[in-house]
Structure 1
Amino acid sequence: MGEAVLNDWEPANESCNFRILIGPAGRGRGLGTEATTLILDHAFTALRLHRVGLEVYAFNPRARHVYEKAGFTVEGTKRDALLFDGERVDAIMMSVIARPIKTGVPG
């Protein structure tokens, strides 16, 4: 079906990168959204990370939509940063920051 990976872990910065690939047989079934949500929960809860970042091909709006649903926001564009089928393409940089845990105690 695919893979979802946290990599380039930087313990001193409490951050890492994320990548995911859902193969053709798994697409259109919500697996990307589910896997992304589960990985982020693990990153922020079990690993106690503060930030998870990623890069996505600029021509891949389907993936970008999944990331935005999971809470990622666009940080910027790296022009001609990636090669795809011999052509240079832009990379959209995105990240999500850990949400503060609400304790129920007024501020």
Structure 2
Amino acid sequence: DVYKRQGGIRVPSYTASKSGIAGLTRLLANEWAAKGVNVNAIAPGYIATNNTAALQADETRNRQIQERIPAGRWGDPGDIGGAAVFLASAAANYIHGHILAVDGGWLAR
């Protein structure tokens, strides 16, 4: 599971919230699937946003991050949007309780 494979370092609140989202996603999927409601989550990797601007500006840390991502780049917010469109589409009608990693392959390493 995406949220059990990476705990983070020195970010206990972030780690706890990721685990909470995973549990809530599964719980709601179990409760709502029979009602025709799909509940899934998206687990983004490093996405180029204002929130990550300091990491991107840090030459050493930026290089280390990009070296660790198999795709070799930061994600774009549109990468998340495409995943959301898929999960909201009829193509995902039989997908329940899934946490979709959109991380350029980060968790595949």
Q: When the two structures are superposed, what TM-score results if normalisation uses the length of structure 1?
A: 0.29
Q: Which has the higher strand share?
A: 1
